[in-house]
Amino acid sequence: MFSKRSIRRDFLIQLIFASASLIIIFSSFLYLYIENSIYEEKRQELLRYAKNIANNRSIAHIDASQTEPFTRLDVEVIYLKKQYSDIDLYETTENEQVYLTLIYPYNLDDLSYLKLSKEISQTKNLLDKILNYIFMINIAGFILVIVYAIALSKMLVIPVRTLSSRLSNMNEHLMRPIKVKELPEEFEPLGTTINHLIARIQNFVKYQKELFIGTAHELKTPLAVIKLKNQVTLIKKRSPEEYIEALKVTNKTIDEMNVIVSNILDIGRQEGAQLDKPIEVDVISVLKQKANDFALLAENENKKLLIDFQPNAFMATLQVSLLNQIIQNFLQNALKFTPKEKTVRIQSSLDDVGLLIEVIDEGCGIDESVDLFAPFKRQGNKSGVGLGLFLAKSAADALGAKIILKNREDGVDGTIASLQLNSKLSCILPSYK
């Protein structure tokens, strides 16, 4: 009915086993309680008989509403060789009749004891019937448990089947996010994760198409320049200096192509880095090391890099290479577009989401209506291929982080590049002063 890999099969087995164990344990305790209660009642009854006889009282004085008729009661005095002060109670069977016998001290001087025997065959038959009834109820209950387990397991896997059905009908051209609010509360985190993956796939497909088109366009232009330059050079004979100049132009164009190819190779390396095993690191320590490296570059360019990291430590499990790539891109762009004798600031702080890392420059700002994360998108008049932010966005998606680019709103021209790290998989260390 179910395969070995079916979670419904495992759930059924565990539920049936647990329910059967509970039924058996409960029934056993119930039967033992009933049996002990009945035997204790019989023991107290025989004990009252024995006390009345030992005190020379008639057993007829016992309240008849509390005891069964004593017509089946046998009483005799026995003598033992050794004194016993304890009361002994045991059960015997004779001629298919069950008797309950009580030995009670009568006269310890002559070692005489009362031996009271009472037939309890009817009581024993009653207990057997109770045991049979409990057994039949257990069988009926076990069948009901199986039916209930099958129905419950079917109900519980409905959300999983719904998710599977929706995902199986998706492809790169038809991808719709799952409506998380329609799922049971327990499946909301799964639905949110799947929607996150769908968004990443959509962005990946979108940007990959743009990357291929952009790569072809970017490579086609320098190739056309090289071909045209060579054709012009071959039209007529030229001086050695003119040939050298033509080769220099060709080499320069080839260098530009190499930059494009190198950036495309970086994309492949980054996709491999996304598969690296995440490790636990102190993000603040990584930021300090990267900021110190760029502080020297800023000083050489007659610019200033200000550093302000809060808190003192922030532990997170992530791929360090991806984090370095994002921060490096932020700082490179900030220093590239910030004029000389101006300031770039890198800072971090805690917020409601986790750790917020910001790089603030005094450059020309950005056009917020343009998708700057698309491949080969450029801003300003600075040189570049336009793949840096595309790589940074891919790295942030792999980290489960979020990148935001916006213009400054404090009256100063410039851009704020921020990285929002989620603290759900992070552990904040205490601060020490």
- What is the pLDDT confidence band of residue 425, given thresholds at 50, 70 and 90? low
**Token duo for residue 192:** 């949110």
54-69 average pLDDT score = 54
pLDDT per residue over 377-402, tens digit each? 666 555 555 677 877 888 888 788 89
Give Cα separations from 98 to 87, 91, 244 (angstroms): 20, 7, 123
Residue 236 has pLDDT above 50, yes or no: yes
**Token digits of residue 173:** 């051209």
Radius of gyration of the chain (CA): 44
Cα–Cα distances (Å) from 42 to 54, 69, 103, 206, 394, in that order, read 18, 12, 14, 85, 82
CA angle in degrees (0–180, nearest 5) for 138-128-36: 90
- Contact present, 323 and 329 (Cβ < 8 Å): no
Summarised one tens digit per residue, pLDDT across range 201-213 is: 777 777 677 667 6
Topology of 276-427 in CATH? Answer: Heat Shock Protein 90 (3.30.565)
Task: For 298-347, write each residue's pLDDT tens digit.
Answer: 988 899 999 999 999 999 888 888 888 899 889 988 998 899 999 999 99
* Range of 164-168, 204-208, 227-231, 271-275 with top mean pLDDT: 227-231
Q: What is the pLDDT of residue 433?
A: 44
- In tens, the pLDDT along 97-147 reads 888 888 888 877 778 888 888 888 888 888 889 999 988 988 888 888 888
How much is the pLDDT for 383?
53
Q: DSSP string spanning 294-351?
A: HHHHHHHTT-EEEEEE-SS--EEEE-HHHHHHHHHHHHHHHHHHSPTT-EEEEEEEE-
Distance CA 126, CA 39 (A): 12
pLDDT at position 169 over 90: no
**Cα(165)–Cα(235) distance, rounded to whole angstroms?**
65
How far apart are the C-alpha atoms of 104 and 113, rounded to whole Å? Answer: 6
The pLDDT score that the predictor gives to residue 210 is: 67
Percent of the chain with pLDDT over 70: 81
